[in-house]
Amino acid sequence: MKLPNTSDKWRFENERKKVVEYLWRIGIIKSEKVKKALLNVPREEFIPPHLREYAYVDEPLPIGYGQTISAIHMVAIMTEELDPESGHKVLEVGTGSGYQAAVLAEIVAKQDPSKKGHVYTIEKISELAEFAKKNLERASYSKYVTVIVGDGSLGYPEEAPYDRIIVTAGAPDVPKPLIEQLNDNGRLVIPVGNRFFQKLLVVEKKNGKIYKKWGIECLFVPLIGKYGWTEY
């Protein structure tokens, strides 16, 4: 695999700054913490080598096995809705490339490791879990992110409860185990709808009660699993 040389590194940094500044100017990025995280995580490290030159095109890109790394604005919107904080324990369902997990790890763990925040991320396709692990290692996030292979629609009870849960695949409804594994005062963000059209749903748990708020329309690859869709 060809690693970026110095001029590639400079070019990628420049392109990253431009797209983040643009998303900030048009109000997609709202908070300093999300802005800083998107500026710090090198998206090019999470893209298959032959597509790296498109790392800062704000679109989903193929990562193999029929899956995609989400567009940069979608990662920004979901991270803003999730509102992660330093020290939080986060579960991500749908690791894909590992990029979203790295953005979350920047906020909950890397900026202040003394608070012991951590990201657990679960991926159904073992080859993609391996791809993500390598990407996270190259970009220096593996200390803060644990990658698990499995059906994330069941959550990951071993480390529950979680302060934040994010699902980056489209589901027919909110998987029951994820609600159970959410901490009190916790928040869950998930695209819910049919296989071709979803809306972002924000679920909050307060004193054991569940509150739901619908957000923007979106289109994600399907969540395949016990509490998701069945295989094609």
Residue whose C-alpha is closest to residue 169's, from 96, 108, 73, 61: 96
Cβ-based nearer residue to ligand SAM, 168 or 211: 168
Cβ–Cβ < 8 Å for 117, 89: yes
For the bound state, the minimum distance from the C-beta of residue 121 to ligand SAM, rounded and expressed in Å, comes to 8
- The catalytic residues are 70
Binding mask 209-228 for ligand SAM (x = CB under 6 A): -----------xx-xxx--x
Binding to ligand SAM (CB under 6 A) within 52-111 occurs at 67-70, 93-94, 96-97, 99-100
Question: Distance between CA 189 and CA 169 in Å, rounded?
Answer: 11
Binding mask 167-186 for ligand SAM (x = CB under 6 A): -xx-----------------
Q: Of 49-57, 150-158, 190-198, 210-218, which segment contacts ligand SAM by CB under 6 A?
A: 150-158
Please identify which residue in the block is written with the tokens 């924000």. Answer: 202
Residue whose C-alpha is closest to residue 103's, from 81, 74, 129, 76: 76
110, two tokens: 């890397």
Binding mask 110-129 for ligand SAM (x = CB under 6 A): ------------xxxx--x-
Q: Which of 44, 45, 106, 151 binds ligand SAM (CB under 6 A)?
A: 151
The 10 Å CB-count burial string (b at 16+, else e) for 22-41 is ebbeeebbbeebbbebbbbb
Cis bond upstream, residue 62 (ω within 30): no
For the bound state, the minimum distance from the C-beta of residue 55 to ligand SAM, rounded and expressed in Å, comes to 12
Cβ–Cβ < 8 Å for 193, 169: no
77, two tokens: 């919107």
Binding residues (CB under 6 A) for ligand SAM: these are 67-70, 93-94, 96-97, 99-100, 122-125, 128, 151-153, 168-169, 220-221, 223-225, 228
